[in-house]
Amino acid sequence: MNAKVKEGMEVIGADGVHVGTVDRVEGERIKLKKSDSYGRHEGHHHYIELGFVAGVEGDKVRLSANADIAVTLEEEPSGKPVDL
């Protein structure tokens, strides 16, 4: 699956709502662009495990969870969950 995920693709939840934009794939995680981090987490990258990818549709990466849940699955560079 990770070979299909490319830089610049939009990451969307199962509901079609924007979650982020792919910066690149690092190992088994999608690194999101800094521009898609919000609030007190602004200015640094977040990651989503490739295991949460349901499929790639054109230039969009669709996750298996709705966007409101998907953002709770984001990780810090260390692999720890994002503290929302």
CATH code where residue 22 lies: 2.30.30
Residue 1 placed within a domain: no
In a domain, residue 79? The reply is no
The residues pairing with 29 across neighbouring beta strands, listed in sequence order, are 26, 49
Q: Is 2 inside any structural domain?
A: no
Amino acid at residue number 56: V
Q: Considering only CA atoms, which of 56, 10, 67 is closest in space to residue 33? A: 10
**Residue 3 is assigned to a structural domain of this protein:** no
Higher per-residue pLDDT: 15 or 37: 15
39 is in which domain, residue-wise? 10-73
Write out the H or E segment, with its range, that includes residue 68.
helix 67-70
Let me know if residue 83 belongs to a domain: no
Q: Which two tokens stand for residue 34?
A: 């800094």
| Span 36-84, pLDDT tens digits | 765 445 566 788 999 999 999 999 999 999 988 888 877 677 666 555 4
Residue 78 placed within a domain: no
Number of domains in the chain: 1
Does residue 1 carry a pLDDT above 70? no
**The model's pTM:** 0.82
Record the tokens describing residue 14, joined without a space.
């199962």
State both tokens at 46.
Answer: 């977040």
